[in-house]
Amino acid sequence: MKELSKRLTDLNIGTVKENEPLANHTTIKIGGPADIYIEPSSIDNLKKAMELIREAKVKWTAIGRGSNLLVSDKGIEGVVIKLGPGLAHMEIDGAKVTAGGGYSVVSLAMTISRKGLSGLEFAGGIPGSVGGAVYMNAGAHGSDISRILEKAHILFEDGTIEWLANEDMEFSYRTSILQKKRPGIVLEAVFQLNEGDRESIVAEIQKNKDYRKETQPWNYPCAGSIFRNPLPDYAGKLIENAGLKGHSIGGAKISEMHGNFIVNAGNATADDVLALIQHVKDTVFDKYGINIETEVEIIGRK
C-alpha cells in the first residue's frame, strides 16, 4: 500500500492520504480508516489513478458526499475514491443539463430551478452527489432519477469508459445496473429537463426542502433512509407502529421524528447501527411478517 500511495502522490492527481478516517466523509459521522484515500482533482486524474490501482490489483471503493452510507468500524480495504470538487462541474444547454459525479444534488436542483427548468424538484432535500443519485436511482415525492436521466458517463472496473443511455441503466426502485451487474463510477450525468414557470418550480422545490426539515432528523448525523419501503407499505410507518421510535443501542438511535432514520446520537459505532438495524428487522418481521431490506449501503471490512 505504501508503494501505491507514493505512486499516486507522485502522479499529482489530487489529494492522497493514508489511513484517513471515513467518519470524516460520511453524513452519519461513522467509519474506520481507508487504507488509501484519494480525491481526484479532475476526470483525467481519476482515470490515471484507476490505471495505477488496476495495475497494483488493489480493491477500490467510490464514495460521493457520504450519505446513504454506513462504513464499517474497521474501515475499508484498498483505495477509497471520493468524488469531490474535482468532479463537480455543471453545464446548462437549453433544457439539457450535464453535471459531474461529485456535484451536489441539492445544489443542482436549486440552480436549475432558478433557471426555470423543471424535473428535479423531487431532489430538493436529497443530500447526496449526482454520481450516488444515479448509482442508486435516488428518488422522493413520487419521482426519481430514472425519469430525467438521458445518459451517464461511466468508468467501469476494467478501465473502459462508456456512455450508458437511460434504457441501459436497468433502473428500478433505488437500483441500477451499477450496483451489481456492472460496478462503475459515474463521472458525469446528462439530464433532460423541461422549461417551466420559474416561480412555481422554485416554490415546489422549497416546499420539498421544508418538508424534509420538518419530518426528518437532519439536525443529527444520519445516513438518510435506512430501509427500502416494502411497497405498498412504508418502512417508517411499520417501524413507528411497532413502537420502535426512540429505541437505541449504544450511540445509535431510531429517530423520534421518522421511524426510517437512525441517528448518531453520540459516538455511535457502525456495530451499534448494525445491531439496531437487525433489531428493527426482527421486530417488524415478528409483528407483521414483513421482511424489510436496507436501502443504506453497508460497506467495509467485516
pLDDT tens-digit readout, 249-298 = 999 999 999 999 999 999 999 999 999 999 999 999 999 999 999 999 99
Domain termination residue (choose one: 82, 101, 135): 82
Q: Structural domain tally of the chain? A: 3
Q: Answer yes or no: 129 catalytic.
A: no
Residue 198: HSE in the Cβ half-sphere, 13 Å Cα cutoff: 5
Q: Which residue has the higher pLDDT, 215 or 30?
A: 30
Is 151 domain-assigned? yes
pLDDT at 120 over 90: yes
pLDDT of residue 210: 87
One domain, residues 107 and 189: yes
pLDDT of residue 213: 85
Helices (H), the chain: 2-10, 43-55, 105-114, 130-136, 198-215, 235-241, 270-288
CB atoms within 10 A of CB 287: 13
Which grid cell is 57? 490489483
**Closest listed residue to residue 29, CA positions, set 86, 60, 70, 61:** 70
Q: Which of 20, 188, 204, 295 is catalytic?
A: 295
**Closest listed residue to residue 250, CA positions, set 228, 234, 266, 235:** 266
Rg for the chain, CA atoms, rounded: 19
One domain, residues 111 and 74: no
Q: Answer yes or no: 20 catalytic.
A: no
Cβ 120 vs Cβ 193: under 8 Å: yes
b/e per residue 83-110 (b: at least 16 CB within 10 A): bbebbbebeeeebebbbbbbbbbbebbb
pLDDT of residue 174: 87
Helix axes 43-55, 2-10, angle to 10 degrees: 150
pLDDT of residue 212: 84
The overall pTM is greater than 0.95: no
At 110, phi and psi to the nearest 5?
-70, -45
Is 39 domain-assigned? yes
pLDDT digits (tens, 9 = 90+) for 235-248: 999 999 999 999 99
Q: Which of 67, 146, 174, 255 is catalytic?
A: 174
pLDDT of residue 219: 87
pLDDT of residue 220: 93
Domain range for 186 is 88-201
One domain, residues 291 and 246: yes
Cβ 37 vs Cβ 8: under 8 Å: no
Q: Length of the chain in residues, anyone?
A: 302
Per-residue DSSP letter, 181: T
pLDDT at 157 over 90: no
* 104 confidence band (pLDDT: 50, 70, 90): very high
CATH of the domain at 74: 3.30.43.10
pLDDT at 180 over 90: no
Cβ 242 vs Cβ 284: under 8 Å: yes
* 73 confidence band (pLDDT: 50, 70, 90): very high
In whole angstroms, give the CA distance from residue 216 to residue 210.
10
Residues 6 or more apart whose CB falls under 8 angstroms from that of 34 comprise 17, 19, 20, 22, 61, 75, 76, 79, 80
One domain, residues 6 and 60: yes
CATH of the domain at 233: 3.90.78.10
Q: Answer yes or no: 225 catalytic.
A: yes
The mean pLDDT value of the chain amounts to 95
